[in-house]
Amino acid sequence: MSSIPTAPAPSEVYSLPQEHVDFRDAVRRLARERIAPRAGEIDRTGEYPWDVRELLGSHDVLALPFDEEYGGTGTGTLMLQMVVEEIAKACASSALILMVHELGTLPIQLFGTEAQKQRWLPRCATGEWSPAFALSEPDAGSDPAGMRTTAVRAGDEWVLNGQKNWITNAGVADFYVVFAKTDREAARMSAFVVESDREGLDPGQMERKLGIKGSTTGSPSFVDVRIPHENMIGEEGRGLSLALATLERTRLGAAAQAVGIAQGAIDYAVQYARERIAFGKPIIEMQGIQFKLADMETRTAAARELLYRACAMADRDEPGLAKYTSMAKLFASDTAMAVTIEAIQVLGGYGYVNEYPVERMMRDAKITQIYEGTNEIQRVVIARSLK
């Protein structure tokens, strides 16, 4: 019998320098004391939390995605996603502010010119500006090849026409990274920075969603929007590879958000189980509840380990990154959904009403299985790596 080939093992250790631990703990306190008390209201009103964004900017949280030379912390992916996790424990909508900060600027960081980086990144690092990532369309979600948005060269400018869909930060963003077909015959697309005040750009109607209600989601349209050639990111016709390289890393944000939601639900369920008396004793002393909590905690801890491993691989630019980021996103998001459902069960009827946060956490958890590439797509990526 021939030997079975095995994939090279990633490095075994991720490290957490003390300064990272200290910063994480500071964000944990910030989230608990300043963001958690706002989470229920943000969900009920569905309004974008400008105060939370200002809070994150003033505490250097929005500088996490960037290198020091552009005003960032230069602390890497692991530190970034640890902080996403901490914020998501308190409020998933608020965590999205930081997540899209990475998503909307990473194309510029990875493929932009030095002039583009100097133009857009420093003002994002301070929190003054916020970006958006405009790839999906009504008929092109998981299949970007179905894109219909076009960009036509007109001298030193490009003219954009088309419709995007499911765009986080629509109506809030100061600029959009927009993907458009620049060669219809070869079905090749390119990426552009489109400032929000460009004539012909309409952020569109905002969606009414099941969860993450404090994050705007819209369908921006582009009608004869003219942008200078210097706003093109990377090479003409290489937009798809640019998008995939971005999502390969930013889906770790969805994984971190999912881990945070799951841990937040566990923490609340444990607290409730300690205080809820039934049959003369706290329900946490009942084996049926204990087993639920044990499984919830174990699965979330496993998701966190996979997430942190993938983040460390990203920081070291190790091979096999796509497989590990897909596994982290897949497992963490499925975990968040399962854990939040169980948290509701622990609370019983109280879990089903919005006076308690676990029903919000369950609604917020669902999107982590869908955006940044559906979990079905993640399984495709993982399976292809095994061939």
* List 199, 285, 372, 376, catalytic entry: 372
Counting other chains too, the contacts that 283-290 makes at CB distance below 8 Å and 24 or more residues apart are 283/346, 289/346
Residue at 297: amino acid letter: E
- CA distances to 74, 100, 261, 325 from 79, rounded to whole Å, are 10, 16, 18, 16
Do residues 367 and 212 make contact, with C-beta atoms less than 8 angstroms apart? yes
- DSSP, residue by residue, 265-333: HHHHHHHHHHH-EETTEEGGGSHHHHHHHHHHHHHHHHHHHHHHHHHHHHHHT-TTHHHHHHHHHHHHH
Catalytic status, residue 68: no
Intra-chain end-to-end CA distance of the chain, in Å: 19
Query: Known catalytic residues?
Result: 372
